[in-house]
């Protein structure tokens, strides 16, 4: 099978993994990995955790040192793609240069959803997705500083916990009636709400920021939809992301809530795939289309495409899993818990070690674990094999989970 040169647009988790996996599978043609961030390709999760806290340095973020790319003959090209000429199989870079491809992979990820209210463009209104953003926040947070976090999703809460641990005064503003409402069960939300409150973080639910107040150049506070005002020196916005679909759309490829790909992660063009946060993929495992934002999704997508390009095509069948570190607590999730109709608890919430087993029509569909890594690892093995256990077994800590794995 001759593929020709592979061009990968985006050197995040998906793009990097794809380049590495191609070489691991023995791919011997040119690999061009386009990187628009001004750093060696790096991992994002520590940006709201250890790196933000200051307990790890920039070198620990990099996937591999520079030498890896030359050793592996991966052309790491600094620059940004601005258009795709599908007929000529060329990518145009902002520099004016062209890259020829036999196969093109869009690994363009996602970008922060921006706040659209007055004063949102002030310098002390910040976001957290890139190394540069994390670096500037890390330098900025100081004891006694007043921070408003808009959005109680994973990144907002991870940031809030780290800022609080560094001595900042933190208010979290969330429109939904509970934290992480779109992603986790009410039991897990309640636990994290109480843990963050105990750490001194003030969480305001069911309200939104209607305006940001300033002294002309710096943030001084924010007004909430219930009429209250909160003073602040810094606002950090974590209200979700938008997939980077524009290159694909402008090249005439179908896009919806992401770049549309089939179960092989191929776009409507047989010479173009899309992977990671930007890809809306057809999932035989779950039925329908999914766009997920996780390291597991990005790296497993990349491995699937690398296998296909080296002659081992299989539909993508990855099992979603995810983690979030918030203060001293580790949340781990496996499966897809949307549409569950029953939740069974295992373990001891008072001890801070428990799991929520989620069922849909009697079938286990996902497990959310707090400080119970064993339950999470069990779930990864069981659900990957499409297995289940009864709700009674899940609730009974005397039941040996391993006995359900054959
Ligand atoms: C602060 C933070 C914490 C996180 N924590 C976790 C966690 O604990 N667990 C977890 O599973 N996930 C976590 N995530 C999510 C995870 O990092 C993402 O799902 C993952 O990075 C997706 O990888 P990706 O390669 O698809 O996209 P990205 O990592 O977004 O990489 C895409 C790259 O493409 C580049 N790009 C875009 N357009 C172009 C262009 N036209 N030309 C050239 N380059 C382009 C972008 O600049 C970027 O470098 C976290 C994310 C953030 C921001």
CA gap 242, 256 in Å, rounded:
11
- How far apart are alpha carbons 33 and 112 in whole angstroms? 23
Do 336 and 248 lie in one domain? The reply is no
Which residues neighbour 195 within 8 Å (Cβ) at sequence distance 6 or greater?
A: 326, 327, 329, 352
52: three-class secondary structure by DSSP: helix
**Residue 49: band (very low, low, confident or very high) from pLDDT cuts 50, 70, 90:** very high
Provide the number of structural domains found in the chain.
3
Distance (Å, whole) CA 344 – CA 363: 12
Distance CA 404, CA 406 (A): 6
Domain identity same for 70 and 150 = no
pLDDT tens sequence across 324-357: 999 999 999 999 988 899 999 999 999 999 999 9
Task: Looking at the structure, tell me whether residues 133 and 185 fall in a common domain.
Answer: yes
Taking the alpha carbons of 392, 394, 396, 399 in that order, is the dihedral positive or negative?
positive
Residue located nearest, by CA, to atom 29 of ligand 1:
12
Q: Quick one: 301 and 382 in the same domain?
A: no
Residues 186 and 227 reside in one and the same domain: yes
pLDDT tops 90 at residue 297:
yes
Q: What is the mean pLDDT of residues 217-229?
A: 96
Nearest 5°: the CA angle 218, 222, 225 is 160
DSSP line for 4-19: --EEEE--SHHHHHHH
Residue ending a domain, choose from 277, 309, 341: 309
pLDDT for 338: 83
Average pLDDT of the segment spanning 287-312: 97
- C-alpha distances out from residue 52 to 109, 123, 160, 261, 277, Å: 21, 19, 11, 34, 22
Q: How far lies 355's CA from each of 182, 276, 402, in Å?
A: 18, 27, 16
The Cα 229–Cα 222 span in angstroms is 6
Coil, strand or helix at 396: coil
Domain boundary among 177, 212, 237: 237
Are 192 and 276 within one domain? Answer: no
Other C-beta atoms closer than 10 Å to the C-beta of 244 total 20
In a domain, 52, yes or no: yes
Is residue 1 a part of any domain in this protein? no
- pLDDT band of residue 406 (cuts 50, 70, 90) is confident
pLDDT of residue 1 exceeding 80, the answer is: no
Asked whether residue 118 is domain-assigned, the answer is no
CATH number, domain with residue 137: 3.50.50.60
322 and 332 in contact (C-beta within 8 Å)?
A: yes
User: How confident is the model over 240-261, as a mean pLDDT?
Assistant: 98
Domain ranges, residue 68? 6-111+241-309
Query: Do both 105 and 180 map to the same domain?
Result: no
pLDDT of 56 over the 90 cut: no
Specify whether 287 is located in the same domain as 348.
no
- Tokens 């004891």 sit at which residue? 143
Pocket test for ligand 1, best of 11, 44, 240 (most atoms within 8 A of CB): 44
Specify whether 160 is located in the same domain as 218: yes
Q: Compute the average pLDDT of residues 272-281.
A: 98
ipTM over 0.95: yes
Residue 259 gets which letter from DSSP?
E
Alpha carbon of 240 to ligand 1 centroid (Å): 12
CATH code of the domain in which 357 resides? 3.30.390.30
How many angstroms separate the most distant Cα atoms in the chain?
65
325 belongs to a structural domain? no
pLDDT of residue 32 exceeding 80, the answer is yes
d(CA 147, CA 233) in angstroms, rounded, equals 6
Q: Which residues line ligand 1 (CB under 6 A)?
A: 9-15, 34, 36-37, 44-45, 47-48, 80-81, 107-110, 128-129, 155, 244, 247, 276-277, 293-296, 298, 322-324
Tell me, yes or no, whether 116 lies in a domain. no
Pairing between β-strand 241-243 and β-strand 110-112 as defined by DSSP bridges: antiparallel
Ligand 1 atom 44 nearest Cα: 10
* Residue 323 resides in a domain: no
Distance CA 141, CA 236 (A): 11
Mean per-residue pLDDT of the chain: 97
- pLDDT, tens digit, for every residue of 129-173? 999 999 999 999 999 999 999 999 999 999 999 999 999 999 999
Residue 282: which of 290, 273, 293 has the closest Cα? Answer: 290
Contact of 237 with 137, CB cutoff 8 Å = no
pLDDT in tens, 358-383: 999 999 999 999 999 999 999 999 99
């Amino acid at each position: 099978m001759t593929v020709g040169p592979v061009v990968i647009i985006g050197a995040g988790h998906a793009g990097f993994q794809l380049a590495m996996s191609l070489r691991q599978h023995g791919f011997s043609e040119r690999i061009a990995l386009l990187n628009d961030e001004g750093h060696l390709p790096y991992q994002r999760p520590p940006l709201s955790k250890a790196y933000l806290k200051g307990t790890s340095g920039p070198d620990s973020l990099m996937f591999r040192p520079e030498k890896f790319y030359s050793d592996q003959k991966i052309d790491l090209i600094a620059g940004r793609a601005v258009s795709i000429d599908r007929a000529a199989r060329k990518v145009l870079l902002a520099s004016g240069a062209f890259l020829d491809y036999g196969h093109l992979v869009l690994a363009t990820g996602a970008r922060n959803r921006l706040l659209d209210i007055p004063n949102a463009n002030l310098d002390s209104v910040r976001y957290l997705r890139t190394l540069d953003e994390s670096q500037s926040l890390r330098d900025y947070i100081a004891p006694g500083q007043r921070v408003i976090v808009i959005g109680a999703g994973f990144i907002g809460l991870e940031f809030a916990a780290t800022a609080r641990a560094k001595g900042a005064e933190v208010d979290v503003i969330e429109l939904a009636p509970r934290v992480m409402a779109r992603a986790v069960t009410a039991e897990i939300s309640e636990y994290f709400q109480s843990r963050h409150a105990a750490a001194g973080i003030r969480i305001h639910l069911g309200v939104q920021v209607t305006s940001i107040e300033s002294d002309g150049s710096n943030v001084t506070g924010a007004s909430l939809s219930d009429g209250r005002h909160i003073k602040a020196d810094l606002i950090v916005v974590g209200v979700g992301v938008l997939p980077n679909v524009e290159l694909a759309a402008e090249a005439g490829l179908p896009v919806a809530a992401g770049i549309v790909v089939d179960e092989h992660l191929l776009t409507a063009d047989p010479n173009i795939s899309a992977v990671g946060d930007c890809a809306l993929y057809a999932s035989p495992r779950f039925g329908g289309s999914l766009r997920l934002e996780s390291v597991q999704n990005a790296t497993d997508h990349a491995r699937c495409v690398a296998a296909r390009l080296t002659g081992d095509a299989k539909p993508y069948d990855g099992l979603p899993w995810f983690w979030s570190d918030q203060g001293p607590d580790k949340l781990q999730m496996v499966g897809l818990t949307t549409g569950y109709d029953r939740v069974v608890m295992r373990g001891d919430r008072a001890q801070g070690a428990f799991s929520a087993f989620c069922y849909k029509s009697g079938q286990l569909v996902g497990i959310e674990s707090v400080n119970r890594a064993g339950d999470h690892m069990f779930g990864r093995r069981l659900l990957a094999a499409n297995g289940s256990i009864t709700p009674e077994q899940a609730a009974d800590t005397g039941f040996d989970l391993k006995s359900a794995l054959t």
